[in-house]
């Protein structure tokens, strides 16, 4: 048996602009948001077999519907062309389907670990491309993988996978944390199939990234993100109340996680306790995350 493990950070988007393309390597989004120091841990085990099989576990439960991971793994196995028994175990440290980039993190972690276990020596950019194409094809996300490979607070300047996608990091003080509160998830794939929703994101997202690039600071990122969230139309009364309360606690800014019924705030250490306490006034402790920003991106473990 051969095995390998990888960690890929969660990624939050404060806003996004859907970018269409006939080539899935060029498809994606322009967006901006932080990577977290928690995310998805993935272990891959492989053994020779008479026919190829792939089994995926998410948090110790067999998950035949892990379509993004399966799509990425199948692409990698096409390169190998030998029958293998592949076991993939994801341990998710963030909610699934709530805007934290878990699908992209799982796919990227799976191909990083499988490539290592197989001794393929594929370039990191090629593996990121495989994961990105799997995500946009399965419509579980559009712009997480490139940011997750890089780490930091990332602006997605151009959509797609390497070499088409382009990213830039916003400088981030060491004492900045991210506090998140999750109400429920949102049906990402259904929303991304709605033409009206995609068109609205194109217009609003294009305006958001234009404003951010004029002044690429933490404060402006959060301001632009909140304007985007208000105009996109996914905020409900509960989220509005949470965002309003947190905005009065001294956070750098607070807005909605895209795409999720969740809110996130950037906050300096001296205000962290107060901001966290405000999130806990609205949510159970298990629904609140306090994290540092991951600055190094996806990596192999061990």
pLDDT in tens, the chain (302 residues): 999 999 999 999 999 999 999 999 999 999 999 999 999 999 999 999 999 999 999 999 987 668 999 999 999 999 888 899 999 999 999 999 899 999 999 999 999 999 999 999 899 999 999 999 999 999 888 889 999 999 999 999 999 998 999 999 999 999 999 999 999 776 666 777 788 888 999 999 999 999 999 999 999 999 999 999 999 988 999 999 999 999 999 999 999 999 889 999 999 999 999 999 999 999 999 999 999 999 999 999 98
Residues of the chain with CATH 3.30.70.890: 171-292
Residues of the chain with CATH 3.30.230.10: 2-169
Whether the CB-CB separation of 32 and 150 falls below 8 Å is answered with no
- The pLDDT value recorded for residue 259 is 84
- The pLDDT value recorded for residue 72 is 97
Q: Which residues pair with 265 in a beta bridge?
A: 179, 254
Rounded to 5 degrees, what angle do the CA atoms 26, 100, 215 make?
A: 70
- The pLDDT value recorded for residue 109 is 98
Q: Which residues pair with 56 in a beta bridge?
A: 88
* Strand positions, DSSP E, 28-165: 28-48, 53-58, 61-62, 84-92, 153-158
- The pLDDT value recorded for residue 197 is 84
The dotted CATH code for 2-169 is: 3.30.230.10
**Could you tell me the pTM of the whole model?**
0.95
Q: Smallest Cα–Cα separation from 9: which of 293, 256, 266?
A: 293
Q: Smallest Cα–Cα separation from 19: which of 206, 146, 154?
A: 206
- The pLDDT value recorded for residue 176 is 97
Q: Which CATH class is domain 171-292?
A: alpha beta
The per-residue pLDDT for range 223-268, each reduced to its tens digit, is 999 999 999 988 999 999 999 999 999 999 999 999 889 999 999 9
Q: Which residues pair with 31 in a beta bridge?
A: 16
């Amino acid at each position: 048996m051969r095995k390998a493990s990888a960690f890929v950070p969660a990624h939050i988007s404060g806003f996004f602009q859907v970018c269409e393309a006939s080539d899935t390597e060029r498809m994606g989004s322009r967006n901006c948001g932080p990577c977290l120091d928690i995310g998805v841990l993935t272990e891959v085990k492989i053994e020779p077999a008479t026919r190829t099989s792939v089994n995926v576990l998410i948090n110790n439960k067999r998950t035949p519907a892990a379509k993004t991971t399966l799509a990425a793994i199948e692409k990698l196995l096409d390169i190998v062309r030998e029958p293998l028994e592949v076991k993939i175990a994801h341990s998710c440290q963030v909610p699934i389907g709530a805007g934290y980039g878990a699908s992209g993190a799982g796919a990227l972690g799976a191909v990083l670990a499988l490539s290592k276990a197989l001794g393929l020596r594929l370039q990191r950019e090629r593996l990121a491309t495989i994961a990105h194409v799997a995500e946009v094809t399965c419509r579980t996300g559009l712009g997480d993988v490139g940011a997750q490979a890089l780490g930091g607070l990332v602006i997605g300047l151009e959509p797609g996978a390497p070499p088409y996608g382009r990213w830039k990091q916003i400088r981030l003080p060491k004492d900045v944390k991210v506090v998140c509160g999750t109400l429920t998830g949102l049906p990402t794939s259904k929303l991304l199939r709605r033409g009206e929703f995609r068109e609205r994101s194109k217009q609003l997202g294009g305006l958001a990234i234009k404003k951010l690039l004029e002044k690429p600071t933490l404060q402006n990122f959060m301001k632009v993100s909140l304007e985007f969230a208000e105009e996109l139309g996914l905020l409900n009364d509960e989220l509005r109340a949470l965002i309003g309360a947190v905005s009065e606690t001294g956070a750098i800014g607070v807005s909605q996680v895209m795409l999720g019924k969740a809110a996130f705030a950037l906050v300096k250490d001296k205000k962290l306790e107060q901001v966290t306490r405000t999130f806990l006034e609205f949510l159970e402790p298990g629904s609140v995350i306090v994290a540092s920003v991951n600055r190094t991106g996806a990596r192999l473990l061990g």
